[in-house]
Amino acid sequence: MLRGVECQEPQTLQLPLRSSRLTLRALTIDDLDEHARLFRDPAVVQFLYEEPLDRAEAAVHLERRLAVDLPDEGGWLNLAVERDGTYVGEVGVSLVSRSHRHCEIGYMFLPEAQGHGFATEAAAVMVDLAVEWMGAHRVTGRLDARNAASAAVLTRLGMRHEGHLRENEFVKGEWTDEAIYAVTEDEWRVVRERLLHSGETPSP
């Protein structure tokens, strides 16, 4: 499932990245139709900070995701995910803290591309990128605690449920609980070996 990301010097990341079924490439302005379709879907943004975006808002949103350099602290590297040349969704990795070597991942897929294991497969590439290229000691996933589909992705990646923060954020007019999942670099390398040798997405 996973082809390892070779350890590279910062700023020299060679895109695209590939897994057995997917290609992860830089976003371009030509992705606007699909990016807008993704972010106008109420089901996709239900547990995100965004309200559904109109096309103009999606264009601005996409513009901010075009950078492909190593993210600065607080910044994100976002990539388009393709299956057989067709856009199916997006994944991202953020550098939360350089001194603590902490990265965070994110992902969102078009409704018709869900239920195929693509999110777990692409997110695994991003965890690998965080650990092997960005030097992360710890990779986390943060989510609305009601987002069961996302929790399942993080669990499949071998992440541990580390916390449930009661009414931690005020999102779209309500207090929401936040869940935190994490994996350390050593733990990831064990999971990664399993992925490389089994060729399958691990089950929770």
Ligand X SMILES: CC(C)(COP(=O)(O)OP(=O)(O)OC[C@H]1O[C@@H](n2cnc3c(N)ncnc32)[C@H](O)[C@@H]1OP(=O)(O)O)[C@@H](O)C(=O)NCCC(=O)NCCS
Which of 34, 29, 30, 2 shows the shortest CA–CA distance to 17? 2
Label residue 121 left, alpha or beta by phi (over 0 means left) and psi (-120 to 50 means alpha).
alpha
Question: Cβ(18)–Cβ(82) under 8 Å?
Answer: no
String of contacts with ligand X for each residue 34-63, x by CB under 6 A: ----------x--xx---------------
Least Å distance, CB 117 to ligand X, is 2
Which of 34, 24, 192, 49 shows the shortest CA–CA distance to 119? 24
Q: Which residue is nearest to ligand X (CB)?
A: 117
d(C-alpha 22, C-alpha 36), whole Å: 21
Applying CB under 6 A, does 118 fall inside the site for ligand X? yes
String of contacts with ligand X for each residue 134-163, x by CB under 6 A: ---------x---x-xx--x--x-------
Least Å distance, CB 143 to ligand X, is 4
Positions in the binding site for ligand X (CB under 6 A) = 44, 47-48, 106-109, 114-120, 143, 147, 149-150, 153, 156, 201
